[in-house]
Structure 1
Amino acid sequence: MIRSTYLTVIFFLTFSLALAQDFTINGSVVDENNTPVVLANVILLSEEGEFIKGTVTDDQGDYRIHSIAKGNYRIVASYIANTVESDLLVVTSNIEMPPLVLQSAQELDEVVVTQNKPKLEQLADRHIFNVENTAISDGDIWDVLKRTPGVMVMNNRLYVNGSSKVNIMINGKLVNLPEEDIINLLSGSSASNVQSIEVITSPPAKYSAEGGLLIDIKMKKNLVAGYNGAVFNRYTQGVLPKHTVGTDHFLKGKRVDFSTNYSFSHDRDWIRYSDATTFFEDGQENEIWTAEQKSISKGKSHNLNLFLDIELNEKNALSFSSTSSLSPDNNTIYTSSTDIESTNADVIARLKGLNTLGDDTYNTSNYLDWVHKLNDKGAEIATNAHFTYYDSKDNQELNNDIVEGFTENTSENTLNISSDQIINLFSAQTDLTLPLSKQSTLETGLKFANINSESSILQSGFDETITNINPSESGIFNYDEQIYAGYVSLSNSWEKWKLNVGLRAEYTDTKGELNILSSANTNSYFDVFPNLSMSYTKDKNAFMVKYYRRITRPRYSSINPFQYYISANSIFEGNPNLKPAYRSYIEVDYVYDKDYKFALFTSIKSDQQVQQFIQDNTTNFLIAQYINLETNYNFGADASVSKYFTSYWYFYFLVSQYYNQNKFVDVTTNAIIDNSTWTTYLRANNYFTLLKDESLYADMAFTYISPYVQGNASFRAYSKLGINFRKTFWNKDASISIGVEDIFNKGNIYSTRNYLEQNNSTSTRRENRLFVLGFRYKFGNTKIRDNSKSKSTDENNRL
């Protein structure tokens, strides 16, 4: 104890330290004739019956389970339809087990290892939402995220702790996709293979400091030897129908595990926008432009995930993971009608627009991992290499017609725009884990990442006489970035205390070069990123503290210096001078009886990057541009309950009250504008397990958010109510689900930008009210349910 305390003091002073000792259980599985049972499933359960880890027996019927912490456990061995359970084990040292004997007379119709875990587990640096056996597990992963405690989805963007800088991981590996493509991927992926959702609210130093918080989607790994699979089908009806079909396959051998998931989605999306802008001249209101726009998108998407694990020997293991998405020949048609009126409501002109956009997107992310165990105490070295290739091609034709009246700020024309963005990401990381005492474990590692982005554009047909509007006829923008990083992290665990503290250092070197300019834009900077999560538990009371500092580097699409049309009177332009943003976050929690939580939090951001719509009163154009906010901070309090009120009813409720302030510079006057408000967020989820055989599940979810702000925009309140049912049959090998999202259609978004000489509002009406029907059928060896697979890697998500 003296040594651990001494090490902890040294770490706080120098950020270098040490960590814990684990144990090993050896044993064998035999039948009633004392013959070794080969490829029997052996799993380790906690005293409460919670799954810890698993393995299979070798050619001699022997098994070994490594890296077991001090505690009380049971071992369950099974083969075909037979199972045997050990007595309670008290692990304080390495254990040599007597043989576990499988009796042939002990036959069960179904051997199911259940995990009576709560739906929500609160840890110091994260919370874990277990979604198995709920009504939403037959849906897609995107719908599950919408219902995950601690996660908000607003206007199809993810928010955690009030931050939209959220990175998605699958089994510890970053998904390197733009936000809209992540939605497509997760919407086309069945949630039936999801074990849990981990919301990492205080990322350890091991993970990249880039971006925001982390959501790790833990997919299942087949524990049973042999093969099993599933097919699934999901139909969604909104204004337009959407359809997803897919299949999963799991194969486990003695030393090789393989799983794959393929899905095909055919989506048809419908969105309506209403936009009203009052333009000014010499400080006085001049013209009011009111636009009604409808978009219909039709797209097909192929998603393929592959996971391969190979145990080379007792000390070495290899794994390969791949996530790929192909969306060819997607098509979106925008139709618009714009009325231009004087302040007396006289129609000056009426415009009609037709915008046809076609895009092809391909993305593949591949990971290769090697883990070498240095000893039986948990020391290991892990090396990961990662490569992502992303290619998005867009072709757009925009027709603008004046059908009535006349306006000098626009003309009849046909715009043709072609653009392409190719991004290559490569990274390599090595991590060393060293348990040095019973209480402490040290982790350290190095990482290198190289990113290259090439963007090109070609457009024609625009009016070159419009002042302040200078779209690029053609151009190629190359952006290169190298990141060098190192970290050290310490975890301590005593009887009542748990501590994780770390420090990460990153050096970044960037170069942006536009072919039509003679000079390049270069930047280099060095930063350190500390993190801390600490908890103290006594009886039913738990106290937690978390702190971290993070960086958000500019997304590659936001730094492209091109200015191009997105409609007849709207322009998009990137900002190659965008600065990285920094965020410091502190939270203090009190948890009673694992079910009731109260939290105080504050977040301070500098140079936050946002995309804002600015009206140009000289040209009567709307310009979408990326800027850095002057300051942005929020603070508030959360109160929540997550509890089984009965054996069949689990309830989660959250109320959050926070203040959010955004300060930015008005581009016309250079005045600093303050956009801030108090916001209330409510979340209520009810999960029911019904019928005597527990084959019917129901989920009811309600979300409400009061008026909130983001950048220069203010948003109205909105709410959503949804309900889902899931029924299993055929010995739980098949299931059917049905549900309705946003029953009262109250989830539409309305925003305003109203300050100085800016007066603009936008109403966005998506297909929020949806009818969903799903079916899933499992086949093969399904007698023991799948369990979670986890492997940590990280890479930034900035496409």
Structure 2
Amino acid sequence: MKLKFVTFLVACLFIASISLTAQTISGKISDATQKPLEGASVYLMQDAILVKTALADAEGRFLFDKLKEGNYRINITMIGFASYKSELLKPDAVVTIVLQPVSKELNEVVVTTKKQFVEQKIDRTVINVDALISNAGSTALDVLEKSPGVTVEQNGVISLKGKGGVKIFIDDKPTYLSGADLENYLRSLSSATVDQIELMSNPPAKYDAAGNGGVINIRLKRNKAKGFNGGINVSYIQGKYSKTNNGLNFTYRNNNINVFGNVSFNVANGFSDLDINRHFFDEDGHPTSDFLQNSFIRRISTSNNVKLGFDYYLGKKDIFGMVINGLSNVGDVNTLNKSRLFNVSGILDSTIVAVNKENRNFKNGGINFNYRHQYNDKGRELTADLDYLRYQTRSKQSFDNTGYLLDNSVSSHDLLTGNLPSNINIWSAKTDYTHPLSNGVKLETGLKSSFTETDNIADYFYTVDNVTTPDYNKTNHFIYKEQINAGYLNASKDWKRFAVQLGLRFENTVSNGHQLGNIQKPDSTFKRNYNGLFPTFYIQYKLDTAGNQTIGFDYGRRIDRPYYEDLNPFLSPLDKFTYYTGNPFLRPSYTDNLELTHTWKNITTTLSYNKTKDDVNETIEIVNGIYYSRPGNLGTVTVKGISVDGSFDLTKWLNFHLFVRATNIHTNSTFYTGALNTQGTFYFIRPILQFKLQKGWTAQLDGSYQSKVTNAQFIASSRGRVNMAVTKKLSPSATLSLVGNDLFYTFRNAGEINNLANTKANYLNLSDTRTVVLSFNYRFGKAISNLRKHNANGAESEQNRVKN
């Protein structure tokens, strides 16, 4: 009731105050002949910090709105012209700027603006990837791991501000992936192709409501300058094993055509050294036996990732575009597994050696058609997207198990082989409409419908004494179909010191699953049909006229639908004693998110509260000594946290960035062994020191530390690492970087597993985290003159719709 009253009161203030207007700085850019310079890059600076960016339109005009009081400068760059830096400007200034021509080669243009590593907006945190030099030569997954509030576990699970269930988007489009598939996909993206990462713990209504932990949107690079421009990055990584990450991005713009692309080529070569120890007890708590297991897992894969697209300008107001995506990841996973069984006296009883092999071929292809119509130059526009995506996995497995007695004589031998083809087809259509009103209110609305079909087959065979028979306990065929229909409405308004954004999204979900079974197991089906309303609300108030202090509050409701992989009931063995399996009975979970933020200059403090019903999490059950890992619904999970994020220019040559967070996780649920009621607080800190040295040298020292984490069944031990990087600017277009990651090899995944029937378990997992990266980056481009005048924003204007 209190929340409804607060929402009603804010809505009244919102409506009552719409006549106020925001402050702006605007201008026009031309050359010496008074010809407008369309596509010039305009940077709004305040105290040497980049505040906003814009592109000059067909008339050479630009506009920065919603500005607070203070002094600003404008920096302008354009290929073929000398860079420009204005005098100090006040809000409401209107300027006319004439750029002077120079050589049109890009390597003679030096951009001196400095992007912040972290930018705070009303509904998201923006990470500028190139601002952190240790990102050079890495992958998109590595970049995520260094972002404030983001943690990436060694099993590929991504958390944001201590909360799992995060959905990953690429250029505002969901990846529809999870687990190992998502991990492989993000590792195939070179950091050189990534421009920004947007962290949204409470996304606006425009985004799908899926993801209790929020949305992470990865924006790929797309050069906006005219002509042929781009960049190339090659890198060599040496850890215990060598690997490479390489990326290319380019754009060609001329007249009414814009062609762009991103290409990545990666060779992954790593390992996991995993120890799992299980200690068994009787009903009275007396030890009965021990099971100690080591798995040395070698992973080698090659990835090729391509994104190509074009925009065609039908006129000044209409743009048609097409984007094609393709990914191929081919690799092998070879595991040497040694399990030792000890009796009640601690004496070795027997040993089982398993040689496991998996050959995996993962492919993803997609095509997007998009259209945008601009009604005017004030932001009123209509967009439409049609998408088709296909994911295809082909996996062949073999598990060769040999048992040895104490005298090393062979007691048993068997071979389990598996063939696991999987296909996912996704069709999606959506349209969005934006309508700014004359009083500064911005209305957004849209519709979306998507249909997904997954087809998973598992064929397993046992070979014992040269006799091969089907293993019907693991063999099956699972088909899952899901349709989601959605619509949303969003309204926002900025005043001089007050900003509000309200949104409401409706989603209808219809799904059905069919497990076809086999000659020993009957088939089964399930159907679900449910609706949901998902409100979002943001409010921001400047405590002083200069805007140095800002306070904000936001609320949102989210849903987390089970991953397709998690609904698949198949058994997937790691060895004879360890199985992973899905759960077709998973229910969607719902989360209420609340955040209170305070910003003082470059320091942001955030208080957060999240409560989830039917949270989906990994659960471990031991039955007759067999270890089963499956996703399950936990009753309620409450996450509370406080974080501080700040950036400080200690001197002209030294910048210090610090992120600190304390998080409390409380889980209360029924469980296999009875009640599960766990609670714990953990701390996370990530400091970054950046040194700007002379003669084009830059250095960076950063690290992270996370204390012990209690989450449901698991207690993860503390861990941390230290990284170091140095770069040399060889020319305005070329940069050489040397990066050292996890210098002291302290980033180790260890912990305990609780709430097991008459069992205690712990684990330790080491991987190839200590690496040295040598990376070379080169930017290229050439300006083109006498271009046809057309709208310069193109399809990339989507990223500018959210208010600063």
Shared fold, TM over 0.5: yes
How far did residue 115 of structure 1 move?
3.2
Q: Equivalent residue for 1:3?
A: none
Amino acid at match of 2:136: D
Sort the Cα spacing of 1:208 and 1:116 in 2 relative to 1 into closer, same or farther, 3 A: same
CA distance in 2, matches of 1:771, 1:783: 40
Equivalent residue runs for 1:26-45 within 5 Å: 29-31=30-32, 34=33, 36=35, 41-45=39-43
> Could you report, residue by residue, the CA deviation over 1:76-125 in whole angstroms, capped at 9, with x for unpaired residues?
474624466788888879x9x87947467999983334434433222232
Of stretches 163-172 and 603-612 in structure 1, the one that deviates more from structure 2 is 163-172
- Is the partner of 1:206 in helix, strand or coil? coil
> Could you report, residue by residue, the CA deviation over 1:258-286 in whole angstroms, capped at 9, with x for unpaired residues?
22222221221111111111234555532
Sort the Cα spacing of 1:783 and 1:279 in 2 relative to 1 into closer, same or farther, 3 A: farther
1:576 partnered with 2:577: no
How far did residue 28 of structure 1 move?
7.2
Amino acid at match of 1:559: L
How far did residue 579 of structure 1 move?
0.4
Q: Equivalent residue for 1:760?
A: 761
Q: Equivalent residue for 1:551?
A: 559
Q: Equivalent residue for 1:334?
A: 335
Q: Equivalent residue for 1:164?
A: 164
CA distance in 2, matches of 1:11, 1:107: 53
CA distance in 2, matches of 1:632, 1:180: 25
2:617 to 610, 617, 624: 610
Sort the Cα spacing of 1:113 and 1:614 in 2 relative to 1 into closer, same or farther, 3 A: same
1:521 partnered with 2:519: no
Q: Equivalent residue for 1:319?
A: 321
Sort the Cα spacing of 1:44 and 1:337 in 2 relative to 1 into closer, same or farther, 3 A: closer
8 Å CA contact retained: 2:681, 2:710: no
Equivalent residue runs for 1:13-32 within 5 Å: 29-31=30-32
Of stretches 63-72 and 570-579 in structure 1, the one that deviates more from structure 2 is 63-72
> Could you report, residue by residue, the CA deviation over 1:128-157 in whole angstroms, capped at 9, with x for unpaired residues?
222335423523233322222222233343
Q: Equivalent residue for 2:725?
A: 724
Q: Equivalent residue for 2:702?
A: 701
> Could you report, residue by residue, the CA deviation over 1:369-407 in whole angstroms, capped at 9, with x for unpaired residues?
211112333211111122211011111010111121599
8 Å CA contact retained: 1:388, 1:424: yes
Q: Equivalent residue for 2:467?
A: none
CA distance in 1, matches of 2:177, 2:796: 20
Instruction: Flag structure 2 segments of 5+ consecutive residues without an equivalent.
Output: 1-6, 465-469, 786-791, 800-804
- Is the partner of 2:40 in helix, strand or coil? strand
> Could you report, residue by residue, the CA deviation over 1:690-715 in whole angstroms, capped at 9, with x for unpaired residues?
21x4x222222221111112331111
CA distance in 2, matches of 1:361, 1:747: 29
Q: Equivalent residue for 2:481?
A: 480
Q: Equivalent residue for 1:145?
A: 144
CA distance in 2, matches of 1:590, 1:98: 37
Sort the Cα spacing of 1:196 and 1:645 in 2 relative to 1 into closer, same or farther, 3 A: farther
- Is the partner of 2:508 in helix, strand or coil? strand
8 Å CA contact retained: 2:397, 2:419: yes
- Is the partner of 1:183 in helix, strand or coil? helix
CA distance in 2, matches of 1:109, 1:265: 28
Sort the Cα spacing of 1:8 and 1:549 in 2 relative to 1 into closer, same or farther, 3 A: closer
How far did residue 677 of structure 1 move?
1.2
Sort the Cα spacing of 1:522 and 1:792 in 2 relative to 1 into closer, same or farther, 3 A: farther
8 Å CA contact retained: 2:666, 2:679: yes
Amino acid at match of 1:614: E
1:567 partnered with 2:565: no
CA distance in 2, matches of 1:192, 1:108: 19
Equivalent residue runs for 1:466-545 within 5 Å: 472-516=473-517, 517-539=522-544, 540-545=548-553
Q: Equivalent residue for 2:3?
A: none
8 Å CA contact retained: 1:261, 1:306: yes
Equivalent residue runs for 1:580-599 within 5 Å: 580-593=588-601, 595-599=602-606
CA distance in 2, matches of 1:107, 1:295: 49
Q: Equivalent residue for 2:214?
A: 213
Q: Equivalent residue for 1:306?
A: 308
Sort the Cα spacing of 1:678 and 1:35 in 2 relative to 1 into closer, same or farther, 3 A: closer
8 Å CA contact retained: 2:192, 2:247: no
How far did residue 255 of structure 1 move?
2.6
- Is the partner of 1:629 in helix, strand or coil? strand
CA distance in 1, matches of 2:645, 2:630: 38
8 Å CA contact retained: 1:219, 1:789: no
8 Å CA contact retained: 1:86, 1:100: no
- Is the partner of 1:558 in helix, strand or coil? helix
1:286 partnered with 2:288: yes
Amino acid at match of 1:195: D
CA distance in 2, matches of 1:350, 1:209: 49
Amino acid at match of 2:326: S
CA distance in 1, matches of 2:182, 2:723: 23
> Could you report, residue by residue, the CA deviation over 1:435-468 in whole angstroms, capped at 9, with x for unpaired residues?
12333111111111111111111001189xxxxx
Sort the Cα spacing of 1:685 and 1:315 in 2 relative to 1 into closer, same or farther, 3 A: same
CA distance in 2, matches of 1:14, 1:224: 39
Amino acid at match of 1:346: I
Sort the Cα spacing of 1:47 and 1:301 in 2 relative to 1 into closer, same or farther, 3 A: closer
Q: Equivalent residue for 1:398?
A: 399
Of stretches 168-177 and 577-586 in structure 1, the one that deviates more from structure 2 is 168-177
Sort the Cα spacing of 1:185 and 1:509 in 2 relative to 1 into closer, same or farther, 3 A: closer
Sort the Cα spacing of 1:665 and 1:47 in 2 relative to 1 into closer, same or farther, 3 A: closer
Amino acid at match of 1:378: G
8 Å CA contact retained: 2:192, 2:246: no
How far did residue 160 of structure 1 move?
1.0
8 Å CA contact retained: 2:79, 2:105: no
1:688 partnered with 2:691: yes
Q: Equivalent residue for 1:600?
A: 607
Q: Equivalent residue for 1:741?
A: 741
> Could you report, residue by residue, the CA deviation over 1:509-556 in whole angstroms, capped at 9, with x for unpaired residues?
110011234542001111111111211113321111121111110011
Amino acid at match of 2:505: R
Of stretches 295-304 and 316-325 in structure 1, the one that deviates more from structure 2 is 316-325
> Could you report, residue by residue, the CA deviation over 1:191-238 in whole angstroms, capped at 9, with x for unpaired residues?
334433221232000100012322223333323321133332211111
Higher relative contact order (CA 8 A, sep 6+): 1
Q: Equivalent residue for 1:362?
A: 363
CA distance in 1, matches of 2:541, 2:670: 44
Instruction: Flag structure 1 segments of 5+ consecutive residues without an equivalent.
Output: 1-6, 464-468, 794-799
CA distance in 2, matches of 1:40, 1:503: 37
How far did residue 608 of structure 1 move?
1.0
- Is the partner of 1:520 in helix, strand or coil? strand
Q: Equivalent residue for 1:128?
A: 126
With normalisation by structure 2, the TM-score equals 0.87
CA distance in 1, matches of 2:308, 2:21: 34
Q: Equivalent residue for 2:789?
A: none
CA distance in 2, matches of 1:168, 1:268: 24
CA distance in 1, matches of 2:632, 2:102: 70
Amino acid at match of 2:197: I
How far did residue 681 of structure 1 move?
1.4
How far did residue 485 of structure 1 move?
0.8
Q: Equivalent residue for 2:668?
A: 663
With normalisation by structure 1, the TM-score equals 0.87
- Is the partner of 2:130 in helix, strand or coil? coil
Sort the Cα spacing of 1:236 and 1:14 in 2 relative to 1 into closer, same or farther, 3 A: same
- Is the partner of 2:113 in helix, strand or coil? coil
Identity of aligned residues (%): 22
1:190 partnered with 2:198: no
1:624 partnered with 2:632: no
8 Å CA contact retained: 2:319, 2:794: no
Amino acid at match of 2:565: S
RMSD of aligned alpha carbons? 3.6
8 Å CA contact retained: 2:433, 2:444: yes
Amino acid at match of 2:450: A
